[in-house]
Structure 1
């Protein structure tokens, strides 16, 4: 068995083949009626779809960013169920703006035939919702298309994707903190 270079991903995170460019279906929303903040990604990457977990790619900064914002320093290293419980305590809901699409790989730029998530339905089920945070440009664009003139702040935050390497983790945390501070439960 050959060993992988440390810069390569473990086999569990390898890009699943999609030779016929088949339609991919995203993950279910994670929420309850008490949530005050809805974080929307664009569409789960290959690692997340394979693991059936939001932000499963080990280099995605989402969980380290949330760890800093929720004041739970070891959040990114906890089991997935415990990470979701931390979001519950922080009253943070999680979903994606695209429900299904065709895509080879994980890049947002490769998304084709995007089917929007039913954001209107989810927003209606969150009576205490105070803001929507979009993880990157595509999530923001898709959210505005789906919700139109919603009576809530719809914030565009820097993508936590490893493909968005223009900002350091510290810069991403600072930007997310500046945008979300009024909406997070301490």
Structure 2
């Protein structure tokens, strides 16, 4: 039996307008107890580029940049069994209560999924015709090997919803 891993609580407040959903934290993120902690993951670099913010390694400052730009963060999967960090290794997953969170925070108008796994799981959880639109963006994981520039270009879609 593999060890069960758990996602983090959502980063969200009443001013959040969009939410970005990953699948579930990878090994490095779980070790550091921080979203997107792997140094090769481009999530934070993309966020800082999108909003012309000065890049920082400080996690609290990173979270404050998300809040400043009305972005919430969470994962589609609450818990699962997985060895390593690959989404393809995820087994026996339990979903987070996404619909309930969106009810509690009605200012969220758009959902963006960080990669295909979170998008597919979200479709299972919410159905294809959910009342809030959701979109898939290229994964910021280093395993998704398209260029940083291409990822950044596609992630600019977020700006239209803020």
Is the shorter-chain TM-score for this pair beyond 0.5, marking a shared fold? yes
> In the alignment, what sits opposite 1:85?
64
The CA deviation at 1:69 is 1.4
Cα separation, 2, equivalents of 1:25 and 1:70: 30
Equivalent position SS for 1:66 = helix
> In the alignment, what sits opposite 1:99?
78
> In the alignment, what sits opposite 1:117?
96
Greater Cα radius of gyration, structure 1 or 2: 1
Cα separation, 1, equivalents of 2:18 and 2:144: 23
Equivalent position SS for 1:94 = strand
- 2:71 matches 1:52: no
- 2:16 matches 1:38: no
Q: Answer whether contact 1:33 1:125 (CA < 8 A) is retained.
A: no
The CA deviation at 1:66 is 0.5
- 2:134 matches 1:154: yes
- 2:87 matches 1:108: yes
Equivalent position SS for 2:73 = strand
The CA deviation at 1:150 is 1.4
Runs of 4+ in 1 over 4 A off after TM superposition: none
Q: Answer whether contact 1:36 1:126 (CA < 8 A) is retained.
A: no
> In the alignment, what sits opposite 1:180?
158
- 1:124-163 alpha-carbon deviations (Å, 9 max, x no partner): 1221112000000010011111112211210100000011
Q: Answer whether contact 1:160 1:172 (CA < 8 A) is retained.
A: yes
Greater RCO between the two (CA within 8 Å, min separation 6)? 2
> In the alignment, what sits opposite 1:68?
49
Q: Answer whether contact 1:41 1:97 (CA < 8 A) is retained.
A: yes
> In the alignment, what sits opposite 2:121?
142
CA RMSD of aligned residues (A): 1.0
- 1:52-81 alpha-carbon deviations (Å, 9 max, x no partner): 00000000000011011122132xx23000
Structure 1 length normalisation: TM-score? Answer: 0.84
> In the alignment, what sits opposite 2:144?
164
Distance verdict in 2 for CA 1:73–1:169, change over 3 Å: farther
Structure 2 length normalisation: TM-score? Answer: 0.96
